[in-house]
Amino acid sequence: MTKVVLWFVAFLAVAISAVWFADNPGEVTINFLGARYYTSFAQLVLLAAMLVTLAITTVWLIGWIRRDAPIFGTNQVIKRQARGIKMLNQSLVALSAGDHKLAGRLIGQAEALLPPQPMVHLIAAEAAQRGGDHAAAKKRYAQLEETADGRLLGLRGLLSEAKRTGRESEALRLARLAFEENRKSPWVLKTLFALEVAAGNWVEADAALTKVLREDLIESDLAEQHKGALAYAEASEAVLKGDRAAARKGFKKTLSLRGNFVPATVALAKLELSDGNRKKAEKLVKEAWSNDPHPGLARIFKELDIAESKKDWLKRTRDLVETRPDHPESLLLLTDALMDAGEYEAAKPVLDKLTKQSPSRTAWQFRLALAHVLGEDPDPIEAALSHAEDTAMWQCVDCGHRPKGWSPLCTSCSAFDTTAWSNKVDLQGPVKKFDADNTIALIADTA
């Protein structure tokens, strides 16, 4: 209603103005370039109005051509892109619903309607990957890497493909490029650390772990545990290279980070013993034994003086086990020393206590040997031995593999720092480990 009133008022004003100009036409004289023109004021106003109308019409026409003209008009482009965005959304929905074929068709149509979009390459790559067309997925990830906004996602996809095909060196190269692209992305830091570890690049892995810790992506105590594992691995390589000084420094660093870490203690004790530092080696073993007895410590302790008499060996053993007299490993070591010294009657109560407290396979083997020496009936002991199992062992908490010794990477599943010493057949609960999962995300990166 307001518009009608306004239009009525406007027409009324124009009509009144026209009547007034008709009654008062006036006279106008114009001198221009030596010529003189005569007209009325009403005609001059009418000419000006016509020129203004022509200018307005021209501007409108140009605007219409730019906006609404078929093919060239911006509105046509907007409409085409709107259809493309709609198909892009539909392809995402189809992909989320598990229909990768429909998603692939829709994203192809969207790509024809839209300007270059990183999202198009990402959805197309994911659809191709789910359909088993890894070549097409790799091509899309490469195209995504070339875009400014999608470079990190493209690197992530290419890295995933490299790992799938077993090209670990290429995956590591891509992870390093991704780190240069985004130095704080959780996925980048975790993946870089995992790949450096898998490649045996202990120094680089330690640097990556420091960055992971700086971004609060890992607990500080777990980071120290992993740093100790890396230091041990680096020191072990130094031993193989003959760099004893670097190895000694590395094993000491491991013990400062992981406390009573038996493999490092044993390795350091062997270095000291080979250098003639028997007292230092013995001190290391005794301190570690008082914290937590271990068969690895027992072996190196026995090697400290291979020329000693059996009685001296027994005396030295008794001094050692006094710190942890009731521990199963102490009882095993004492039994071994007693039987070496021929004190079989003294070994029997120790073994009886051991087979009740920790009836391991090793304990029953000692008991069977003692039964033969004492002339006892071996049948019940052999029956117990046939059902006995090792109650202390190294075991990977990821795959359950039981290696003979500790190593940074599981020799079965290649997981990092997942091998733990267990005093039972089955570990009670998983050991915390570093999550290096680098599965490609559907749409959003955590970066």
Distance from the first to the final alpha carbon of the chain: 56
Of the two residues 230 and 437, the one the predictor is more confident about is: 230
What is the three-state SS of the chain? CHHHHHHHHHHHHHHHHHHHHHHCCCCEEEEECCEEEEECHHHHHHHHHHHHHHHHHHHHHHHHHHHHCCCCCHHHHHHHHHHHHHHHHHHHHHHHCCCHHHHHHHHHHHHHHCCCCHHHHHHHHHHHHHCCCHHHHHHHHHHHHCCCCCHHHHHHHHHHHHHHCCCHHHHHHHHHHHHHHCCCCHHHHHHHHHHHHHCCCHHHHHHHHHHHHHCCCCCHHHHHHHHHHHHHHHHHHHHHHCCHHHHHHHHHHHHHHHCCCHHHHHHHHHHHHHCCCHHHHHHHHHHHHHHCCCHHHHHHHHHCCCCCCHHHHHHHHHHHHCCCCCCHHHHHHHHHHHHHCCCHHHHHHHHHHHHHHCCCHHHHHHHHHHHHHHCCCCHHHHHHHHHCCCCCEEEECCCCCCCCCCCCECCCCCCECCEEEECCCCCCCCCCCCCCCCCCCCCCCCC
- What is the model's pLDDT at position 67? 59
One-letter amino acid identity for 407?
Answer: S
Band (51; pLDDT cuts 50, 70, 90): confident
Mean pLDDT for 33-54 is: 74
- What is the model's pLDDT at position 50? 81
- What is the model's pLDDT at position 442? 32
- What is the model's pLDDT at position 290? 94
Return the percentage of the chain with pLDDT > 90, whole number: 49
pLDDT at 141 over 50: yes
Band (156; pLDDT cuts 50, 70, 90): very high
Q: Where do the domains of the chain lie? A: 17-66, 69-131
Residue position matching structure tokens 């830091």: 189
Q: pTM to 2 decimals?
A: 0.70
Structure tokens belonging to residue 15 = 């009509």
Band (83; pLDDT cuts 50, 70, 90): confident
- What is the model's pLDDT at position 71? 57
Residue 81 CA to residue 85 CA, distance in Å, equals: 6
pLDDT at 309 over 50: yes
Mean pLDDT for 136-153 is: 91
Nearest partner of 271 among 307, 298, 240, judged by Cα: 240
Average of per-residue pLDDT values in the chain: 85
Return the percentage of the chain with pLDDT > 70, whole number: 87
Structure tokens belonging to residue 329 = 């490993």
- What is the model's pLDDT at position 390? 80
Question: Phi and psi at residue 307, in whole multiples of 5°?
Answer: -95, 0
Q: 52-56, 250-254, 408-412: which range is least confident on average?
A: 52-56
Sign of CA dihedral 160, 136, 88, 154: positive
Tell me how far the alpha carbon of residue 143 is from its chain's centroid: 24
Residue 57 CA to residue 51 CA, distance in Å, equals: 10
pLDDT at 190 over 60: yes
pLDDT at 426 over 80: no
Q: What is the pLDDT of residues 390-406, one digit of tens each?
A: 878 899 988 889 998 99
Residue 440 CA to residue 130 CA, distance in Å, equals: 12
Q: What is the pLDDT of residues 261-291, one digit of tens each?
A: 999 999 999 999 999 999 999 999 999 999 9
Structure tokens belonging to residue 191 = 């993946």
- What is the model's pLDDT at position 434? 43
